[in-house]
Amino acid sequence: MDLFRCSALFTIAVASTSPVVANAAEEQDLFSLSFEDLLNVQVDIASKTNETLSSVPSTISVFSRKQIQALGVDNAYEVMNFVPGMQSTRGDWVGAVPKDHARGVYLDSGNVLVMINGERVNESSFGKASVYLPYIPVEVIEKIEFIRGPGSALYGSNAFLGVMNIVTSKERNTLQLVLGNNGRYGATGQFNTSLSDDTSLFASFSYDQKDGESYPQGVKDPLEALYLEAGVDYKKLQLRARYNETSLDEFLNLAGYSKQNQHNSDNTFVGIKYNWINNDKLKLDSSYSFTKHNISSAGLIATFDDIPDFLVGPAWQTTDSKFETELSYQFDNQWQLAAGIEYSEAKQTEAGVRTSYYDFDSEQIIIDPAFEQQGIVSVMDFPEFSSLKFTFETLSAYGQLKIPSSDALTLFIGARYDDVKDIDSKLSPRLAGVYKINSEHTVKLQYGESFRTPVTNELFSNDDVTIGNPSLRSESIKTTELVWHYKTSELQANAVLFYNELNDFINIEPTLSDDALFTFTNSFNTQNSGIELDSTWQSSKDFSITGTYTQYFEDPINASFKRFASIISSYNLFDSWQVSLNLLWRDTVEVSSETGAHFKQSAYSLLGGSLKWQLNNNSQLMLKAENLLGKKYNAFDPRIDNGAVAGTTEELSLHYQFNF
């Protein structure tokens, strides 16, 4: 990746700005938010109305910038491990990108919607955000909001079992440098300025590189990642642009470990938003956004004694265009309406193949010495993938009423309708009641339905392993939740009981076709349920501890964690030091595959955290650690022969941050 070229573009963009002192006072205070402030943090993702953790009509987890830093993690997906009902592990598919586990479901199909500043990252070929955007540096993040459970009533497809919204920083002037083990180094810069009362600018960049650790399979897990973002606010107009590029070579790709494995992905986003009206009663916005996703990947499929190895993978491009108009209106009786209409076009524009064997005359992959290529070649007009070039056109409309029925009871009634041309149409309702018993106790009863539209890989794939099924229907889920929320000046706690009805789940099944082994079908309906617990206690300004625990009552779909927990503690020392420790615990996973292979990973714990030293008002040092004790463990993935994907061992890094 051309780091110099990309950095130069951003240098030019911010060269004319004059830095202003911002956030220095906040950074000096290691606990910049009081416990009461944390309880009353504004949550917009779950209702499109301003709510707190007590009043929001969904099951929510929120992490501030300081909380994320204290965890010691580097990638936004890793924060999922501290969210009740969610987990993130590495898997086998396309560069071993992060995999979502949500409420007992581990299926590699994009059942969690990932957004950056409210803009969806999931795309139409694989469905998963992490295939095209596997690394989102935490240094550029201001806040992460999680919906645990259905979100399609507001956000449509993929908001199925959860939503993760990453809010990036736009009001900081800071530079951060990092050095770590396994050959890691990097830098992050964030800049903002006001040119006038009407005009402000911001820009961010982050670059991360590491050689990776060595694994018994004879490979490492190197990383190279670049993230760029910029924006302009002028009166009622907002302009936004974002670019990222990630390389995850070697390690594991398409179920094979090999130093020859290659994975590169990039995304380009541009958006414009205009606020037509903004007063005490009515807010009306219109926006347009365009995103282009590219992936170039190749993994080891087979090895031979007498000829070179066979590697293959996708060279795909997809685009997303979206027009949207949203409004919010408050009636005289204090009812609030949030509504919107949306038109989106998701298109797969390229469907090529990357392969080490190819016959250009017959336009086929033929594993024969006569068709061996010099390395891996990209064939962009690959006939067998031509059907993947498909366009999803979707018309959507949603509306939600917030009804304060009394001082104690608030009702939320809403729904979203999505019509996906030539595929499916779905109505996603949501009903919620929030009852405040007293100043400490709140109970919520929530019902919601969500769906996931099949992607081009499931509808139209055509290779020696899988063949698509154009008759697939959308997956759907119906969720009922009972929530108890408790808060005092020192303690907050939540208990969530959920019950899911899952219908038309898409899975791989054997096919009678001579051209492939498997196809995709809406193969099963099932139910699952569980309990999610979390609590935070701040005994003083200097000490806080948070614990989470998740227990499913049925076995997960595909072998995943049935029980897991976390503990996060932070302590301030001498006004200028903060030590934070966290512990992740995962229960035993044991499964026998159809091929007879047996996988078992005993229960294990991972220790991590951070040590922060505030040097002065403008600078700090921080030591971050993940898996500090170097625990060796495996995560299960059904496509690996023995089911085992190696987890990362110890990750140590030293960060220097300067605020200006």
Rg (CA), the chain: 24
What are the tens digits of pLDDT across the range 40-62? Answer: 666 767 677 778 878 888 888 99
Q: Is the pLDDT of residue 8 over 70?
A: no
Domain that holds residue 584: 3-659
Helix (H, G, I), strand (E, B) or coil at 14: helix
Structural tokens at position 115: 């957004």
- Among residues of the chain, what percentage have pLDDT more than 90? 77
What is the number of other CB atoms lying within 10 angstroms of the CB of residue 588?
Answer: 12
State the pLDDT at residue 29: 52
530 or 53, which is more confident?
A: 530
Is 108's pLDDT higher than 80?
no
Q: pLDDT value at position 53?
A: 79
Q: Label residue 516 by pLDDT band (50, 70, 90).
A: confident
pLDDT recorded at residue 435: 97
DSSP helix/strand/coil, 594? coil
Q: Strand 162-168 to strand 141-148: parallel, antiparallel, or no bridges (unpaired)?
A: antiparallel
pLDDT band for position 39 (50/70/90)?
Answer: low
**The amino acid at 253:** N
Give the Cβ contact number of residue 465 at 10 Å.
11
Residue 417: per-residue pLDDT = 98
What number of residues does the chain have?
A: 660
Prediction pTM value: 0.92
Domain count, the chain: 1
Q: Among candidates 46, 161, 53, 178, which has minimal Cα distance to 102?
A: 161
Least confident of 160-164, 290-294, 596-600, 628-632: 596-600
- Segment 380-398 shows an average pLDDT of 95
Residue 541 has pLDDT above 80, yes or no: yes
At residue 44, the pLDDT reads 67
Rounded to the nearest 5 percent, the helix, strand and coil shares of the chain are 10, 55, 35
Average pLDDT of span 189-216: 96
Query: Looking at residues 414-438, what average pLDDT do you find?
Result: 95
How large is the average pLDDT for residues 84-106?
A: 89
- The 10s digit of each residue's pLDDT in 208-232 is 999 999 999 999 999 999 999 999 9
DSSP, collapsed to helix, strand or coil, labels residue 49 as coil
Task: Name the strand (E) or helix (H) holding 578.
Answer: strand 577-586
Q: What is the CATH number of the domain that holds 125?
A: 2.40.170.20
Average pLDDT rounded to a whole number, residues 232-258: 95
- Is the CB of residue 533 less than 8 Å from the CB of residue 549? yes
- Kindly state the tokens that stand for 300: 């080891």
Per the CB < 8 A criterion, the answer to whether 353 and 365 are in contact is: yes
Give per-residue pLDDT as tens, 132-142: 999 999 999 99
Strand runs labelled E in 248-281: 252-253, 256-257, 262-278
More confident call, 598 vs 481: 481
Q: Does the pLDDT value for residue 26 go beyond 80?
A: no
Residue type for position 442: T
Sign of CA dihedral 140, 145, 146, 151: negative
